[in-house]
Structure 1
């Protein structure tokens, strides 16, 4: 992989290198300490993020306070949901959400366990989903737990012209019954009828507010429904669109190391996670940047 650009000219330790993955999306950022980015470096990093959709920064040493402070440079943060136990994931830092299979005194310290997390966009079942997510690796298993990302720009661009015409004005209901691990969300009565399940309605084809590019906005497959279509027609069309998500040319897989920070644009990507051995430990801390309501 070649270095795409070097920015923040001057001392060598101030240089930021953006190295594309060579896949449909994703780039690694080198030469930065996320605790001490100056405004010029941050602006360069943000431009790279808009271009590549997902950024990886390795070798970071971040406290929860550091992670929150860096995340806030992109906008206001969502508060993490309260656990089933009624406690915050991290007392005193309500913005931190823990993704983990670890248990302490029989109680899980985080969510999603060790199973597979299917392709999804974070919290698209809300009227205003988060704009972006950041995930920081504290402990990783020796094998498994890899995270894959796919470009919803590239998938939309690859659709046949007739399909683009057919879906141009459709709206999709994003189900709020199940999370990406397949578990029923707290306080929700499960149903498998997508016409009556809870969830938010969004355009199927969206325009990114920062880049101006068109993208497909699928959210997640289970219980999704295209408004105005017969259920069978909706299912068939969604199945057709989802075949593109499974194609390797639209995705990039990340194999985690301790100290990795990965940030992704939640509006124009989807992601999934491989399962891993539950006898091994995986601890990730996540923040989310709040989204903005679409213009009426």
Structure 2
């Protein structure tokens, strides 16, 4: 008889505890600086099932975080920030998410202290990243919480007629703005989303490991449904977004120092609350390269 995921976890010293009804699981008993092969295998299987994983109490150096992240896949290099910086010197795989500034008052990382709206990381690319990871180094006393929502649960929540229609849709994922609302370097602003730079992806995709369907929306701003009049596209997108972030399908993470939160970028969206700029929030982020373009559920 094949062992269950919980049984395999227990056999290698791990315990799995769901953190919300529809998304996320906490894994206890793992040291991400030196996980065993069996533990990594359990982690990867839990990842596909739950969409997001939380590992608390991790004490990681830069090398440890990069080393663990590489066991999940090929790493992207950190993108340029608004001031042209990338990441920790010598470690281009680690992106600084922080409101810290240098002696000249220039940002040392990305996103500052503002809100980041619901989004899927870099879904404007033909092959968006498979996963993203945040490691908390400093956190404010309040605010800066990260929210995850299950796009598999969002798909399941759709009324039958809207679910059927969604399978036929291709949605443009706009590249103009980042999740903090800033214009990306080299991008030109347009008021008409039909004219923006971006990539069309199916509205319903198949998770490559589990085979389950998920709604795939990216982010709301400047989104557009292929072949529709602009007003019709806007109205239909609003309908889809009504179901995308239902409270019962989400998880709110209140950060503690040394938390690691890992999410599957293909089947979740995430956002962040703003926080008091007089407090510091410092996260190290790694990102797993995309393994391929999102595939329509019916085509996979």
- TM range, smaller chain: over 0.9
Alpha-carbon distance between aligned partners in 2 of 1:8 and 1:147, rounded to the nearest angstrom:
26
Matches for 1:1-296 after TM superposition, within 5 Å: 5-8=6-9, 14-105=12-103, 106-294=105-293
> CA shift at 1:23, angstroms?
2.4
CA spacing shift, 1:248–1:278, aligned 2, 3 Å:
same
Mind listing any 5+ residue stretches in structure 1 that lack a counterpart? none
SS in 2 for 1:284: strand
Alpha carbons 1:7, 1:17 under 8 Å: kept? no
> CA shift at 1:6, angstroms?
4.9
Alpha-carbon distance between aligned partners in 2 of 1:186 and 1:248, rounded to the nearest angstrom:
34
Alpha-carbon distance between aligned partners in 1 of 2:69 and 2:197, rounded to the nearest angstrom:
30
CA spacing shift, 1:212–1:274, aligned 2, 3 Å:
same
CA spacing shift, 1:37–1:191, aligned 2, 3 Å:
same
Alpha-carbon distance between aligned partners in 2 of 1:279 and 1:228, rounded to the nearest angstrom:
47
Alpha carbons 1:6, 1:15 under 8 Å: kept? no
SS in 1 for 2:92: coil
Alpha-carbon distance between aligned partners in 2 of 1:165 and 1:47, rounded to the nearest angstrom:
29
CA spacing shift, 1:227–1:9, aligned 2, 3 Å:
closer
Alpha carbons 2:100, 2:108 under 8 Å: kept? yes
SS in 2 for 1:277: coil
Deviations 1:241-279 (A, max 9, x none): 111134201101000000000000000000000010011
Alpha carbons 1:6, 1:18 under 8 Å: kept? no
> CA shift at 1:186, angstroms?
1.0
Alpha-carbon distance between aligned partners in 2 of 1:182 and 1:263, rounded to the nearest angstrom:
23
Alpha-carbon distance between aligned partners in 2 of 1:275 and 1:208, rounded to the nearest angstrom:
31
Return structure 1 stretches of 4+ with deviation > 4 angstroms. none
Alpha carbons 1:6, 1:16 under 8 Å: kept? no
SS in 2 for 1:95: strand
Alpha carbons 1:152, 1:269 under 8 Å: kept? yes
Alpha-carbon distance between aligned partners in 1 of 2:125 and 2:201, rounded to the nearest angstrom:
9
TM, length-normalised to structure 2 = 0.93
Over the aligned positions, Cα root-mean-square deviation in angstroms equals: 1.5
Between 1:286-295 and 1:235-244, the stretch displaced more is 286-295
Alpha-carbon distance between aligned partners in 2 of 1:192 and 1:79, rounded to the nearest angstrom:
31
Alpha carbons 1:120, 1:180 under 8 Å: kept? yes
Mind listing any 5+ residue stretches in structure 2 that lack a counterpart? none
Deviations 1:40-80 (A, max 9, x none): 11101111111110000000011111111111111101111
Alpha-carbon distance between aligned partners in 1 of 2:58 and 2:277, rounded to the nearest angstrom:
26
Alpha-carbon distance between aligned partners in 2 of 1:157 and 1:183, rounded to the nearest angstrom:
32
Alpha-carbon distance between aligned partners in 1 of 2:219 and 2:20, rounded to the nearest angstrom:
26
Alpha carbons 2:74, 2:289 under 8 Å: kept? yes
